[in-house]
Amino acid sequence: MQPELIIDAHLDLAWNAIQWNRDITQSVYTIRTRETNIEGKGRAVNTVALPEMQAGNISLCIATLMGRNTGNPVPHLDFASRMQTYGVAQGHLAYYRALEHAGYARIITDLEQLNNHLTALDTNDQTAGFIISMESADAILDPEQVSEWYDAGVRLIGPAHYGMGRYAGGTGVEDGFTDIGFALLKQMEQHNIILDVTHLSDKAFWQALDNFNGHIIASHNNCRALVPHQRQFSDDQLKAIIERDGVIGVAFDAWMLQEGWIKEVTSNKSVTLATVADHIDHICQLAGNTDHVGFGSDLDGGFGREQSPSDLNTIADLQNFKPLLSDRGYSDADITAIFSGNWIRKFNEAWA
C-alpha cells in the first residue's frame, strides 16, 4: 500500500545538485558511494535524493533557489556581487526545468497544476512536484524584478538567510528591512507571492508582519522555547504566524532541535525523530489544534546524517512519524494535516 503523502516545505535540491555536484536522480546510497573519498562536512552521509523521496511518498516539496550577497563571501553560498547571485539562482531554476524536461519533476505554479499533480499521485504517478521558493532575495537585482521571477515560476520568497542581506536582516543580526526590502514586500504582495519569514531577524520579522498583507509561512523553523536561539521563533512569533493562518515547517537540523547542540562537536545520538515531534507538539499546543504545523526538513541543507536525527537514515524515514505521532495521541486526521493537509490548504488559500 502506498505510504501517506508527505509534503516537505524546504529542500535545497538544486543547491545540492549544482554546488555539491550530486545527481539526485540517483539513490542516496549511490551518492554516498561516489562521495566516499571526498572530504568535508556532510559528504557520503547525505539523506535526500529523488528515489528516496518516492519511496517515502514525499511527492511534493518546496524546492529552493539559494544564494546570498551579504558582503561576506562564502564559497558556493555567499557571492561577491548581486550579479553572481542572480546567475546562481537562475542556474538552480534551470536545473529544475531540466528535471521537468526529463520527466523527473513537474513545476507547480497555480491551483490547477497543484490539483492535477495530486490527482496524478492517486494514479501512482511518481513524478516529483516542485513549488519554487527563493531562500534569500539577494538574487533579485532590484524589487521591480520580482515580476520576472514570478513569471519564471517563483511562488515564495524568504527575504533573508544568514547575516545582513540586501533586503533584510537574517539569522545572526538584529537589523531590519532596508529601503529596497520594504519595496520588495510591496512587489511580492502585488504578485501574490507567499512570504517565507524563516531566517528573518526579530526586527525584520515584526516589520514584515506590519508591512505585508499577503500570505505568510515559515518553511523551516523550530521553537525558541525549546532551543533558545535567534534562529528559532519565540512563542509570540509563532502565535503571530498562527493568527495569520500561516503554517510552520519543523526543521530536522540537530542544532535547531536540541539546546546546547554544537555543530561538528556534539553527537546526534540523543537527537531523534521524537525530538522533532516535541517541536510539533509545542506548535500544536500554542495553536490549540494541528492546523499550523508541517514538515520543512531542510535535510541535506549543508549537512548530512551527522547533523540529522540519529534514527533517520534517508528522507523516506519521515513516514516513521505516523506511529510516533499516533502514540502521542494524534488522530489519523491530525497526522494527515501535519503530513500534507496544512500545506495543501495554505496553497489553496493563496492561489484560490
- When pLDDT is averaged across residues 248-265 and rounded to a whole number, the result is 97
Residue 65, SS3?
Answer: strand
In tens, the pLDDT along 95-115 reads 999 999 999 999 999 999 999
Closest CA to 89 of 140, 47, 55: 140
CA distance 11 to 298: 5
CA distance 315 to 276: 14
Domain residue ranges of the chain, discontinuous segments joined by +: 7-351
CA distance 88 to 14: 10
Q: Residues 201, 176: contact at Cβ < 8 Å?
A: yes
State residue 142's pLDDT score.
Answer: 98
Continuous segment of H or E residues that includes residue 135: strand 128-135
Cα angle 282, 157, 333; round to 5: 40
Residue 64 above 70 pLDDT? yes
What integer best gives the mean pLDDT of the chain? 97
For domain 7-351, the CATH class is alpha beta
Cβ neighbours of residue 179 under 8 Å, at least 6 residues apart?
none
Q: Which residue has the cell 493562518?
A: 245
In tens, the pLDDT along 105-154 reads 999 999 999 999 999 999 889 999 999 999 999 999 999 999 999 999 99
CA distance 176 to 263: 27
* DSSP notation for 274-314: HHHHHHHHHHHHHHTSSTTEEE---TTSS--GGGS-TT-SS
Q: Residues 12, 64: contact at Cβ < 8 Å?
A: yes
Residue type for position 141: L
The percent of residues above 90 in pLDDT, for the chain, comes to 99
State residue 2's pLDDT score.
Answer: 78
In tens, the pLDDT along 165-192 reads 999 999 999 999 999 999 999 999 999 9
Residue 59 above 90 pLDDT? yes
Closest CA to 283 of 239, 337, 329, 316: 239
Continuous segment of H or E residues that includes residue 325: helix 321-327
Q: How far is the first Cα of the chain from the last one, in angstroms, to the nearest whole number? A: 32
State residue 124's pLDDT score.
Answer: 87
Confidence of residue 158 (pLDDT cuts 50, 70, 90): very high
CA distance 75 to 121: 38
CA distance 42 to 22: 12
Confidence of residue 1 (pLDDT cuts 50, 70, 90): low
Decide the pairing of beta strands 128-135 and 60-66: parallel
